[in-house]
Amino acid sequence: MGWFLTPSAFQTDMSRVPDWQKYPELRWLDRFDTVVPIVLAAALFGLGSLLHAVAPSWGTTGGQMLVWGFFVSTIVLFHATVTINSLAHRFGRRRFATHDDSRNNAWLALITFGEGWHNNHHFYPGSARQGFRWWEIDLTWYGLRLLAAMGLVWDLNPVPAWVDKKAEY
C-alpha cells in the first residue's frame, strides 16, 4: 500500500507528459490538485442545503449530500483504484507476456469500468481502450467514444492490429 503514499508518487514527472506544458489549465490543476475536490465538496453541501430549503419534503440536507456525494463516493473510487493495483496483479489471466504480474480480471473490470483488463493495459498502455476484445466490457472506453461522438474529446488511441497478434491466448 505504501507505493502511493510516498512523496515521489505525488510529483508529476513532466518529462513523461511534455505536451501538458502548453496547457496552462493542466499545469494549474497539477499544482493545485486539491482545489477541485474542495469545490466539489462545497458545491454538494450547498446543493443539499438548497434542496433542504426549497424542497424539504425530499429530506435532503447539505450534510447528507456531502457524505454520500463526496466522502462515500471518494472512498469507493479510491478503493476500486487501489484494488486494481493490488488484485489485478494477483488474480486473473495473462494474455500478454509483460515484465510484471499484471492480469486481466473480468470481475474487476466490471466494477471499475474496464480497469480490470490490467494485463492489456500493461502491454499497450497507449490505448484509451483497456478491453482489447469485443467481449471485454470497458465502460470507460464506451464513455470516451460517446464524448468523441459529441465532439468533446478527439484523437482517441485505439488498439492497433499488431497488438492482438502478440497475444499468447
Closest CA to 12 of 36, 39, 32: 32
Closest CA to 115 of 96, 99, 134, 102: 102
Look-up: residue for cell 510529483? 11
| pTM (whole model) above 0.75 | no
- Residue at 39: amino acid letter: V
Q: How high is the pLDDT of residue 3? A: 63
CA dist 44 and 25 (Å) reads 23
Q: How high is the pLDDT of residue 83? A: 85
Closest CA to 133 of 26, 20, 24, 123: 123
Q: Which uninterrupted H or E stretch holds 38?
A: helix 35-54
Nine-digit cell at 18? 511534455
Q: How high is the pLDDT of residue 1? A: 56
Q: What phi, psi does 50 have (nearest 5°)? A: -65, -45
What does the domain layout of the chain look like in residue ranges? 14-87, 94-169
- Spell out the residues 6+ positions from residue 25 whose beta carbon is closer than 8 angstroms to its own: none
**Number of C-beta neighbours around residue 105 at 10 A:** 24
Q: How high is the pLDDT of residue 65? A: 97
CA dist 76 and 164 (Å) reads 33
- Residue at 80: amino acid letter: A
Task: Extract the residue ranges of the chain whose pLDDT is less than 50.
Answer: none
> What is the number of alpha carbons within 13 Å of residue 134 lying toward its C-beta?
0
